[in-house]
Amino acid sequence: MRHQAPFSSQRGTAIPSTHLTFPSAEAHRSWLEQQSALPRGFRVGRTRFEFMPAEVAKPAKMNLTLVVLDEPTPAFAAVFTKNAFPGAPVVLGRKRLEEPTLGAVVVNNKVSNVCAPGGVEASERLCAAVAGGLGLSASQVLPCSTGVIGWRLPVDAMVEAVPQAVSTLAGGSVLPAAEGIMTTDLYAKVRRAQVGSGSIVGIAKGAGMIEPNLATMLVFLMTDVDVPREALRAALRSVSARTFGCISVDSDTSTSDTVALLSSRKVPCPSLKEFEAALEQVCADLAEDIVRNGEGVHHVMRVRVHGAPGEDVARGIGKSVVNSPLFQCAVNGNDPNVGRLVAAIGKYVGAHHPEVDLSRCTLRMGGRVIMEHGAFRLDNEAEKALVAHMKGAELYTSVPPADGLTFRPQVTFPPHERSVEIDVDLGGGPGACTVLGADRSHEYISENADYRS
């Protein structure tokens, strides 16, 4: 079921730490359970309730999830979206960074609480209710929301549900929280790494509206390793930029992106270097999990760009490739339409870095050279090999829907961790970056056409 691969934290070489295959949803669930042991000093709980949105006359269900420390900690960090329309929880989260300690995180799905009337007040009221149930102050509770943008939180129902969520708090496994924060995700995402006698465990949600600008979706990282507050924050900023900052599903930066890192400080840190390497492993794996579990994703694309003047140029080229609608559609159809690939590269370079000379560019797909020194090297054999490579990376194939309208994913687990591998060598500098992206499918369109209805 599992093959462990070496992990490299060298910039520009995002090597996954695993090459997993799963024959069934049950096998994947079993693996998740093996990854889910909470670090010392943490408990999680959740409850689910029904409510009637104020905006639509249709019953909905919401999960309320808690991540709680046994004792409030000064060692906490977070990074947030740069979207200029941030949700109310992001507004409050930025303020929470100024607090001396944090004791809990409260997360709701279904409603994102963005630009809703009284949104900040609603989040503060929820924090106060959680704090009252845990013996904390409201300022020691970090709120996070995800779901439909524009709807108001059903705050009365949420406050009423808090005691039930508190009553379910337990140590042991993080999996209830990983499942509680899901929206359109097909499956929960959990990753872990050992650090000396301690560990880092991370959970994430995110499937659509994914192109992080610094942070991404909702990610919660828990560790029992004692890392000072400022060092913890520096590590999270650096690692987030190299991992979550290098992925895209559909090029849209969410209004609610949050990555939070909490330490219970129960075990000594062997070294900051070792801690950051483990943190990067967890975040890199979660970042790839998010793309692989993206809305309607059939293929993950891994675009490694090197030989660039700088890392920023390499990242921009990689993002241009994975965000090209034409190339996304070609990949979805297992069509190695390399003209769309070079168009995406040239579009970005021409618009942003016209000084970059592409005449020395060498392109590879699936390890095969398809362009060298600016000229294609294509023939019938190459075409067949590229098609086979794409088909080998496909997670599932579309099945025409019975109603003729709504395409649905054919799997609820990741069968494998293979990707369409693209290598872009500009041949002219030290800059490198690996970007992960996804194709564009019938299922993506169906999901986002019907998301609220």
Which two structure tokens, joined as six digits, stand for 199? Answer: 């560990």
Cα 123–chain centre separation: 23
State the Cα angle at 113 between 110 and 117, rounded to 5°.
Answer: 135
User: Is 448 one of the annotated binding-site residues?
Assistant: yes
Catalytic residue among 65, 73, 184, 216: 216
73 is in an annotated binding site: no
**Residue 341 has what DSSP assignment?**
H
At a CB cut-off of 8 Å and minimum separation 6, what does 239 contact?
Answer: 276, 279, 280, 283
Query: Annotation-wise, does 183 bind a ligand?
Result: yes
216 is in an annotated binding site: yes
296, burial (CB in 10 Å: exposed 0-12, middle 13-18, buried 19+): buried
DSSP string, 176-190: HHHHHT-SS-SS-EE
Q: Which two tokens stand for residue 89?
A: 């929880």
Q: How many residues are present in the chain?
A: 453
Cα-flanking dihedrals φ and ψ of residue 133, to 5°?
A: -80, -15
Distance between CA 143 and CA 92 in Å, rounded? Answer: 7
CA distance 245 to 247: 6
How far is C-alpha 150 from the chain's CA centre? 22
* Residue 110 annotated as lining a ligand binding site: no
| Residue 216 bears catalytic tag | yes
Residue 341 CB partners (closer than 8 Å, separation 6+): 321, 327, 363, 365, 422
Annotated binding site for substrate: 183, 205, 216, 295, 448, 453
Active site residues: 216
Annotated binding site: 183, 205, 216, 295, 448, 453
